[in-house]
Amino acid sequence: MHHISTIRIIFILMASLFCWPTASEKNIQKNNNPDNENLLTDQVYSDNIHTVQFYREGWEFSQPVLFLGSDQHLVLKFDDLSGEAHTYSYTIKHCTADWAPSNLIESEYLDGFFENSIDDYEYSVNTTIPYVNYLLRIPNDDVKPKLSGNYVLTVWRDYDHTKPVLSRRFFVVDQKVGVTGRVKAATYDSYKGPNQEVDFEIQHPDFAIQNPRNEVKVLLMQNGRWDNAKTDLLPQFIRENSLVYDYSEENVFPGGNEFRNFDMKSLRVNGKGIASIQYLSPLYHVTLYTDKDRHGQDYHFENDLNGHYLVKRDNVTDSDVESDYAMVHFSLDIQAPLTEGNIYVFGELSGWQCSPSNQMVYSIERKQYELALLLKQGFYDYEYAYVRNNDGKIDTSLLEGSHVETENNYQIFVYYRGISSRFDQLIGYQVINSANR
């Protein structure tokens, strides 16, 4: 622990370089009310917090989806790089299908206590950067969700609700309907070529739905991304026991491309995608090979993690506390800067967001975009996203290309709220793979 003071200085410098507050973080600083709408999204509010993972136990690449009445658990993990343990608590809030606070009180949707401490933590072992790894399982002996729907888990420091640390959305499903579907090449002329069309059907023979267009909402996601999710789909055909969503425009996504990736499970040998590894006190620097613009190139299949990452260090017992951190240097070969927008390193490693912390900077001397990110050892997927100044939309096709053959996972969530219901039930969930894998 004798490195702590040096490390703190390093982090102050790094924060000034690439950890400026996002717009959401600035809003939190102005208004720390826990009901603030920013706390109902996936955010990290502290520069010390890194490598936030939230998934169904047993499958690190899954979305945080819990089935009501099952013996499953969700796992939340994160690292505090301040070098010392802190007191962290968490709360769980029930939300509507549109991620607004529901009108339910805590005792209606939780079995147990509304606020609880996170007591499971360990210090890092033999790492150049000291950190504390925190672990939380939901449900546990203190709290258990008892209704279906959308939830937001918020972590607080020192039980102080003016000090949010992170927030993460999760889902509790009470599977009452069946969901089937398929992904095919887009059929409408304007979308033919690189786009994928997601057609699906909701079967409800044992669940009465009186007014489907008003009582049912659907969330359709590609690889767990929120920025391009579809939330306004209505059934095109209403049959006796099924609702059919077979549009040719509203349910279309760019196919995108298979993700780039690199292997940083070892800091002794160069893994996939890594050009060099150097130790420059007090931390490792990992330089990736310079990437090229893939727009206009032919499709090439490659196994990927659909944008996710895996924390892993070779030849250790516990990767959660024995994996080191390294400064990873990304570079993208572009002959001239793009003046109408910005380029970001994008994927789960950026929280599926584009913010100053993952924005690249253009080097006129080297004619390339560059970014350094502090990342924990493991295997990472990533891609390059372009965000235009005029609309703020995330576009991965400009630099990565887009292909109808690309393998993607699509998640379908089905919500129901009857005329006398007090909350939005989550009654169906299904994952469809574009390649039927």
Angle at alpha carbon of residue 346, lines to 344 and 348, rounded to 5°: 150
Low-confidence ranges of the chain (pLDDT < 70): 1-39, 437
DSSP single-letter state for residue 356 = G
Instruction: Read off the pTM.
Output: 0.90
Contact 370, 361 (CB under 8 A): yes
Dump pLDDT digits (tens) for 147-157. Answer: 999 999 999 99
The pLDDT value recorded for residue 36 is 54
Contact 427, 207 (CB under 8 A): yes
Pair of tokens at residue 249: 């425009």
Domains and CATH numbers, the chain: 4-20+36-173 (2.60.40.10), 178-255+406-433 (2.60.40), 260-400 (no CATH)
Show the beta-strand stretches assigned E in 37-177. Answer: 43-44, 49-56, 65-67, 74-80, 88-95, 110-112, 115-117, 120-123, 132-138, 143-145, 149-157, 160-173
**How many Cβ atoms sit within 10 Å of the Cβ of residue 153?**
19
> What span, in angstroms and rounded, lies between the C-alpha atoms of 9 and 27?
26
The pLDDT value recorded for residue 148 is 98
Instruction: Using DSSP, state whether 17 is helix, strand or coil.
Output: helix
Q: What is the DSSP string of 177-195?
A: SEEEEEEEE--SGGGTTTE
The pLDDT value recorded for residue 352 is 96
Burial class, 145, CB count within 10 angstroms (exposed 0-12 / middle 13-18 / buried 19+): buried
Look at residues 197, 181, 245, 249 and name the one whose alpha carbon lies nearest to residue 217.
245
The pLDDT value recorded for residue 391 is 93
Look at residues 109, 113, 153 and name the one whose alpha carbon lies nearest to residue 134.
153
